[in-house]
Amino acid sequence: MAACHAPPFLCFLAWIQPIIVNQQLPSDLLSPSQLLFKKSFDFIVVGGGSAGCVVASRLSEEPNWRVLLLEAGGEEYKSADVPGLLTYNWDTNLDWQYKTKPDEKYCGGKSCVWNSGKVLGGTSILNGMVYNRGNARSYDAWKELGNEGWGFDDVLPYFKKSENNADQDIAANTMYHSKGGPLNVQRFAFKDKNVQPLVDALEELGYHQVDINGGNQTGVTIAQFTQKNGSRLSSNKAFLAPVRKRKNLTVVTNARVVRVVMDPITKRATGVEYVWEKFKHMGKHTIRAEKEIILSAGAIKSPQLLMLSGIGPRSVLTEKGIEVIEDLQVGQNLQDHPTSNGILLNLGDKQKSISNGLNILREFSEYMRNNDGPLSQVGPLQVSFYIKSRYADPKIDYPDIQFFLPPVYKTKEAPGEVKSPNTQYNRIMFQPGVMMQKSRGYVTITDSNPFSDPVIVPHYFQVEDDLNVLIDAYNFIYKNLSNTKVFKGLGMALDTTPAPECAHEKFGTEPYWICLARNLTLTLHHFSGTCKMGPRSDTSSVVDANLLVHGTKNLRVADASIIPVLGNSNTNAPVIMIGEKAADIIKESFVVTFS
């Protein structure tokens, strides 16, 4: 174990983390037996993430439909429940740990790490739990691209269908919110000590509190999260776990789908090939779908699976020796919200949140007893705010910068070496998201081997406007927020020590900001767009407005990959909405009559 210069308990936590997270649950070992004597199902859902759990749950509401959900990862772990340990499941066996192709224009010329859930519940196990639908104009833009039925007025009922808003002041706005759905949404009951100062500082600058899921976004919010009583509520827990006992629903973990079986003549999807994740050497197995296959494997895996199945750019498939079933621009149109590290707020002594070992043990005990105390929340990440860059229309409420405020614990001896709970920090990081990125990347396959890592090229900052948006965000913190009376009164001040990677530039100048963006680039994990939704006349599209893959039969995609233009929000809530709407589309297409 590397030398640790943090308080002893944090060192202990860093050491024991792999032991806690990598525990194998017995229920995973039972999964293979569930398919031993099964030859077919009506519907096969590939991927048990934010959308897949919803699709499987909703389709199995029809008792005569046999539904199979296949997930490459294992069951959800207890360690994911604790909000204060938000990042402790990253870079573990619950994570695909994707890496992008290196590029000198971002991530310091190295591969960017893209965390993505490989577990039942998908990335809703790893994410920050923020419930953020995005601006209404984002969805209206989908409709304007020819996707009838996907404007904001069309999708709002599906957001509300999922929602159980537990904050009475917000739930009272029934135009935008509802109660009674499976997805509990609420603010954290435990309020971090820096939440109010952050809100006060922004209000000092004229940014008032808003419900970002209501009529306005520009401003500051004490966010709502997909959690219930201080415990993470993943898509798995909200939608799947309550119905796992349905006789017509089969959920199998540790089963990685490697190909959709396609009839090359009719172009009909007839089944899937899969392997047991822990026993790949035992070979592939096939199971049939009598009605449909729905890919909900995410913006990286869904396009990879399509290409391995013969659906994708002809030039790519031919080069890799894969028979072309349908020539489509699969894997193109990759979008994300980039941000960066590098803007740190030093906290006054009273605003620091650092406990001694005994107090931390008490916090853990308090959480284990009743899901209460500091560990039942995410620290300053409770606060988020939207502002506009030089490119945003000043006349309308459609902001293009969203700030996230992760807590940071650093020591002079080993800055950043030890991961700490969100309850233990002495600085706050300002991470501005470029929420209307103009650059587009792509995902493709390395070869025909399903176990080869996909090639991911995000093309961050390929369009210079994206870089300028970050510059505007940095300047807002540097010139405005850091100089508020609220911050000065509490001894909170910007750390103007240059990042080592950018020490050759003067802090606060445009060259310094550009250096930060290109060297300390981070993803907000909002990967999308790689199976673009659009009419067949749009040659860049992959699925139609009913999510059917162009030119094929019985094959749909329902996840973040279908998003044609990424909106200005986190993606978990929109992806759950996509799952809800996809299930209804499927039900309607089979003319199901419910008693």
* Both tokens assigned to 131: 């419930």
pLDDT at 270: 98
Q: What angle do CA 352, 356, 362 make, to 5 degrees?
A: 105
Whether residue 12 is predicted with pLDDT greater than 70 in this model: the reply is no
Name the 3-class secondary structure at 108.
helix
pLDDT at 416: 56
289-326 tens-digit pLDDT: 999 999 999 999 999 999 999 999 999 999 999 999 99
Q: What angle do CA 310, 312, 313 make, to 5 degrees?
A: 125
Task: Compute the distance between CA of residue 275 and CA of residue 353 in angstroms, rounded to an integer.
Answer: 46
What's the half-sphere exposure (Cβ side, CA atoms, 13 Å) at 263?
Answer: 12
380-417 tens-digit pLDDT: 999 999 999 999 999 999 999 999 999 999 877 655 55
Q: Is 226:572 a contact under the CB 8 Å cutoff?
A: yes
Q: Is 417:331 a contact under the CB 8 Å cutoff?
A: no
Name the 3-class secondary structure at 207.
coil
Cβ burial of 370 (10 Å; 0-12, 13-18, 19+) is: exposed
Range in 273-282, 320-329, 540-549, 563-572 the model is least confident about: 273-282
Whether residue 509 is predicted with pLDDT greater than 60 in this model: the reply is yes
Range in 3-7, 390-394, 480-484 the model is least confident about: 3-7
* Both tokens assigned to 161: 């269908």
Q: Which one of the listed residues 337, 459, 526, 550 is annotated catalytic?
A: 526
β-strand 249-252 against 67-70: which pairing, if any? parallel
Task: Compute the distance between CA of residue 460 and CA of residue 430 in angstroms, rounded to an integer.
Answer: 19
Task: Compute the distance between CA of residue 468 and CA of residue 28 in angstroms, rounded to an integer.
Answer: 47
Q: What is the pTM of this model?
A: 0.95
**b/e for 23-49, b at 16 or more Cβ within 10 A?**
eeeeebeebbeebeeeeebbbbbbbbb
Q: Is 529:443 a contact under the CB 8 Å cutoff?
A: no
β-strand 427-429 against 455-457: which pairing, if any? unpaired
Residue of 1, 384, 362, 346 whose CA lies nearest to 188: 384
- The question of whether 550 is a catalytic residue gets the answer no
Mean pLDDT of the chain: 93
Task: Give the largest Cα separation in the chain, rounded.
Answer: 73
Task: Compute the distance between CA of residue 118 and CA of residue 208 in angstroms, rounded to an integer.
Answer: 38
437-449 tens-digit pLDDT: 999 999 999 999 9
Whether residue 240 is predicted with pLDDT greater than 80 in this model: the reply is yes
